[in-house]
Amino acid sequence: MLIGGMAMAQSVDKTTSDKLTKYLHTHRLPMVGAQVSNTDTGRHLMLYGFVATDFGKDDAVTKSKRYLHDSSIAVTNNIKVNPQVRHLKKKPSTDEGAMDTGAAAHPRADWENTLDDTLRSGGASPSNDPNLRMPPPSGPAPMPPGASW
């Protein structure tokens, strides 16, 4: 590594880099990777990949520092912002047990995906709860006794 014209010895901490990358992937940053290095001047974090927003780029730094328990680590943020990545779909995982991160995925992720799908399809479907007196999906609501349209 060359900083300020001076060569600097570094060694990549592959284990920490891999664990941090997996952590970021399971915490709403699926296209971000991390490399943690030990240098003569301390630890260094390099982030790379793609996010949809500037917030995502900053969030990767915040989450990485929190995960590493090191708020003063030197960071090189090579993450590129590309709004088009928002529209990419996640492939279903065939090996769910392979990623042992020690933390569950963001609890709102499923809710947000469900809400997005509902809005895209034109709204929610009618409830089957008889107390709500919703019309059946196949036609209009029955007329109450004595009512007129």
Number of neighbours of residue 24 by Cβ within 10 angstroms: 23
- pLDDT, residue 80, reads 95
Query: Rounded CA gap, 79 and 76, in Å?
Result: 9
With respect to residue 11, please indicate whether it lies within any of the assigned structural domains.
yes
Q: Max alpha carbon distance in the chain (Å)? A: 90
pTM of the predicted model, to two decimals? 0.57
With respect to residue 143, please indicate whether it lies within any of the assigned structural domains.
no
User: 74 burial class (0-12, 13-18, 19+ CB within 10 angstroms)?
Assistant: middle
Tally the domains of the chain.
Answer: 1
With respect to residue 71, please indicate whether it lies within any of the assigned structural domains.
yes
With respect to residue 106, please indicate whether it lies within any of the assigned structural domains.
yes
For the domain that residue 43 is a member of, what is the CATH number? Answer: 3.30.300
9: containing domain: 2-87+101-117
Query: pLDDT, tens digit, for every residue of 92-142?
Result: 655 544 444 444 444 444 444 454 554 455 444 444 455 555 555 555 556
Kindly report the backbone phi and psi dihedral angles of residue 47, in degrees, each rounded to the nearest multiple of 5, phi listed first: -105, 145
With respect to residue 26, please indicate whether it lies within any of the assigned structural domains.
yes
With respect to residue 79, please indicate whether it lies within any of the assigned structural domains.
yes
